[in-house]
Structure 1
Amino acid sequence: MGLLVFIDTIALCLVVSSALLQRFEQAPKPDGSLSFLVIGDWGRKGAYNQSQVSFQMGVFGEKLNIDFVISTGDNFYDNGLTDIDDPAFDDSFTKIYTSSSLNKQWYSVLGNHDYRGNVEAQLSPVLRNLDKRWLCLRSFILNADTTPFVDKYFTEPGDHVYDWSGIRPRKQYISNLLKEVDLALQESNARWKIVVGHHTIRSAGQHGNTDELVKQLLPILQANNIDLFINGHDHCLQHISSVDSGGGSKAWRGVVNWWNPEEMKFYYDGQGFMSVQITETEIDVVFYDVFGHVLHKWNTSKQLHRAW
């Protein structure tokens, strides 16, 4: 699952696709800036260094005075949540991310492991009542809802059972979603456009490229000149051109398919997280490991256009 984030110096808007369009606004700081952390593939009841990553997120969340957190999916391993009473929600989320700096809104998307459980449970407002930080919705207007794109989950599910309620008929769902993404990007006048999805588009990790997204979603993102695509899924930290990927728990798979160095800016086969700081003219991205060490930095800027 995924969402697209419009960021400018006034607000962060996440527009949800429903009968009546619902809008979420994230107020910026007084100086017009926004900062947030990104994590993915994390829900393991504290194991596989999830707790250590959480601690460092709390440290840097305070240093950067973050406004919110984005989760790129695979929120609860191995098979999502069973229902709204599943203790995994408390054991993998509420009891783990306890730092005061992380007591901010979490914008969460769904990954393939989440689809193996009860998807409606993660989407339920009951969870938001249990922990006010939690916000996970099925289809955002600028949604890169990546799991339904991947053919193998439908044709080769193996022993896994996926909850496709609300997805079928699949072709129509994907077609409508791509149209919504394209239209919303075209209509946006935001200075910065960031798309968040669970699956990789391009990746040097174990899962590699997601061919369905390369074919269907990437041309739309390129045509609309997005600034970043942020994803999870491959349990590593990497920066490919303007595409970023992160992993918050189980990692170190020992798999890397090296790219042309002009495109592969950074690759780390381990756990960590990412920070993003945004002003009207700049984006600063930093990758951290489980100890809070800075592994990689990336920056891009845009000039202000003033009317004379």
Structure 2
Amino acid sequence: MAAPTAVGLIVLAEIAVLLSHVLAGLPVLHHPVKSDGSLSVLVIGDWGRRGTFNQSTVADQLGRTGEDLSVDFVVSTGDNFYDNGLTGVEDAAFIESFSGVYTAQSLRKPWYSVLGNHDYRGDVLSQLSPLLREIDGRWTCMRSFVVDAETAQFFFVDTTPFVESYWTNPDGVPHDSRGISPRENYIATTLKDLEDALTSSHATWKFVIGHHAIRSVSIHGDTPELVNHLLPILKAHDVDLYINGHDHCLEHISSNDNPIQFLTSGGGSKAWRGVYTPNEDKLRFFYDGQGFMSMELTQDRLEVSFYSITGEILHRWIATKDIYSI
């Protein structure tokens, strides 16, 4: 096991991301905002390919944008290591796909990550292990958890166990079921913990992050299990954004019957699927290519931007809230 890097130790000391309590069954990590109360976040998914498929090029632009925005942390929407996750905590893929790729100083901030279906193909417990933070102090990955950033809370949800086909028809690629068996109980507990946490939340902004899409017009499309079981909870608790990866593209879809917005940021490496299938909700933006997303927050304003691999802003969306009426 490699010794902690100097940067890793600095990151751990500066951000003090400590598990301080549990919110309705979910671990909570606290992240400070800037002195002016603002927060800047980058969101990227489906990236871990040892720098290939333009991962390194996207990473370079991610670093430049991170510097421009003075980013506070990075959200990973899963499929962190292709094709079959990590083999263990000493797997070289962790450095070759993460530490050795996202090297910009602006990205020396916490990375909060969820698991994707490709991560479940490997030793899933290794990605969840705190031992990885001894290699790179930026890394935090748990099945489901909350990042509390004062006026905003980010609810991370482990969506892979929801998708029945991974367990009933795995196409010869087994998924690591340790920690989620029996699956039905695990899903029920995850949904209850999330609903309880959302009920307890007093944050102005509430964002839920998972790997699989609820709404998508790309190759994977909607995830029926999430539409049926997760979406009603999000709508009932006034969640502002559902953010995912899985489809290797960038998307913004608005619900037709609720203020919730569905955002896909899965363009971290291999992309260009060539599939577009509209659904019944309102498509605001679709880019079948590589890139990432940013979120700039104050107490009463949210600005979301989608970037291409060259740093061009492809789409921007702004929302505001009357904080005195909340």
Contact 1:115–1:163 (CA<8 Å) still a contact in 2?
yes
2:293 pairs with 1:288: no
Return the match for 1:70 from 51, 66, 75. Answer: 75
Count of residue correspondences: 295
Q: Per the alignment, do residues 13 and 288 of structure 1 end up closer, same or farther by CA in structure 2, a change over 3 Å counting?
A: farther
Contact 2:271–2:290 (CA<8 Å) still a contact in 1?
yes
Number of the residue aligned with 2:244: 231
Which secondary structure state, in structure 2, belongs to the residue aligned with residue 129 of structure 1? helix
Which secondary structure state, in structure 2, belongs to the residue aligned with residue 112 of structure 1? coil
- Partner Cα separation in structure 1 for residue 113 and residue 28 of structure 2: 15
Return the match for 2:119 from 105, 114, 121. Answer: 114
Q: Counterpart of 1:43 in structure 2: which amino acid? A: G
2:233 pairs with 1:220: yes
How big is each residue's C-alpha offset from its partner over 1:110-134, in whole Å with a ceiling of 9 and x where there is no partner?
A: 0000000001111111110000001
Number of the residue aligned with 2:178: 165
- Partner Cα separation in structure 2 for residue 136 and residue 16 of structure 1: 17
Q: Per the alignment, do residues 16 and 294 of structure 1 end up closer, same or farther by CA in structure 2, a change over 3 Å counting?
A: farther
Number of the residue aligned with 1:6: none
1:87-102 matched pairs, under 5 angstroms:
87-102=92-107
Q: Per the alignment, do residues 87 and 297 of structure 1 end up closer, same or farther by CA in structure 2, a change over 3 Å counting?
A: same
Once the two structures are TM-superposed, the CA of residue 24 in structure 1 deviates from its matched residue by 1.3
Contact 1:16–1:139 (CA<8 Å) still a contact in 2?
no
Percent of aligned pairs with the same amino acid: 55
CA RMSD of superposed structures (Å): 2.1
- Partner Cα separation in structure 1 for residue 204 and residue 24 of structure 2: 28
- Partner Cα separation in structure 2 for residue 17 and residue 32 of structure 1: 24
2:319 pairs with 1:300: yes
Contact 2:38–2:299 (CA<8 Å) still a contact in 1?
yes
Q: Counterpart of 2:230 in structure 1: which amino acid? A: L
Which secondary structure state, in structure 1, belongs to the residue aligned with residue 323 of structure 2? coil
Contact 1:16–1:140 (CA<8 Å) still a contact in 2?
no
2:283 pairs with 1:264: yes
- Partner Cα separation in structure 2 for residue 44 and residue 201 of structure 1: 25
Q: Per the alignment, do residues 14 and 187 of structure 1 end up closer, same or farther by CA in structure 2, a change over 3 Å counting?
A: farther
Q: Per the alignment, do residues 20 and 202 of structure 1 end up closer, same or farther by CA in structure 2, a change over 3 Å counting?
A: closer
Return the match for 1:250 from 270, 291, 314. Answer: 270
Q: Per the alignment, do residues 265 and 32 of structure 1 end up closer, same or farther by CA in structure 2, a change over 3 Å counting?
A: same
How big is each residue's C-alpha offset from its partner over 1:32-84, in whole Å with a ceiling of 9 and x where there is no partner?
A: 01011000000000011100110011001000000000000000000000011
Q: Compare relative contact order (CA 8 Å, sep 6+) and give the higher one, 1 or 2.
A: 1
How big is each residue's C-alpha offset from its partner over 1:200-240, in whole Å with a ceiling of 9 and x where there is no partner?
A: 00100000000000000000000001000000000000000
Q: Which moved more, 1:85-94 or 1:131-140?
A: 131-140
- Partner Cα separation in structure 1 for residue 22 and residue 85 of structure 2: 23
Q: Counterpart of 1:88 in structure 2: which amino acid? A: A
Once the two structures are TM-superposed, the CA of residue 139 in structure 1 deviates from its matched residue by 2.9
Number of the residue aligned with 1:275: 294
Number of the residue aligned with 2:214: 201
Once the two structures are TM-superposed, the CA of residue 100 in structure 1 deviates from its matched residue by 0.1
Q: Which moved more, 1:15-24 or 1:250-259?
A: 15-24
Number of the residue aligned with 2:60: 55
- Partner Cα separation in structure 1 for residue 140 and residue 168 of structure 2: 30
- Structure 1: segments with no counterpart, 5+ residues: 1-11
Q: Counterpart of 1:129 in structure 2: which amino acid? A: E
- Structure 2: segments with no counterpart, 5+ residues: 1-16, 147-154, 255-260
- Partner Cα separation in structure 1 for residue 238 and residue 219 of structure 2: 28
Contact 1:14–1:140 (CA<8 Å) still a contact in 2?
no
Q: Per the alignment, do residues 22 and 155 of structure 1 end up closer, same or farther by CA in structure 2, a change over 3 Å counting?
A: closer
- Partner Cα separation in structure 2 for residue 186 and residue 126 of structure 1: 33
Which secondary structure state, in structure 2, belongs to the residue aligned with residue 183 of structure 1? helix
Once the two structures are TM-superposed, the CA of residue 196 in structure 1 deviates from its matched residue by 0.5
- Partner Cα separation in structure 2 for residue 28 and residue 273 of structure 1: 22
Contact 1:45–1:92 (CA<8 Å) still a contact in 2?
yes
Give the TM-score normalised by the residue count of structure 2.
0.87
Q: Per the alignment, do residues 88 and 54 of structure 1 end up closer, same or farther by CA in structure 2, a change over 3 Å counting?
A: same
Number of the residue aligned with 1:8: none
- Partner Cα separation in structure 2 for residue 111 and residue 165 of structure 1: 15
Number of the residue aligned with 2:258: none
Once the two structures are TM-superposed, the CA of residue 144 in structure 1 deviates from its matched residue by 2.4
- Partner Cα separation in structure 1 for residue 23 and residue 239 of structure 2: 24
How big is each residue's C-alpha offset from its partner over 1:13-35, in whole Å with a ceiling of 9 and x where there is no partner?
A: 99886999643111100110101
Contact 1:15–1:21 (CA<8 Å) still a contact in 2?
no
Contact 1:143–1:177 (CA<8 Å) still a contact in 2?
no
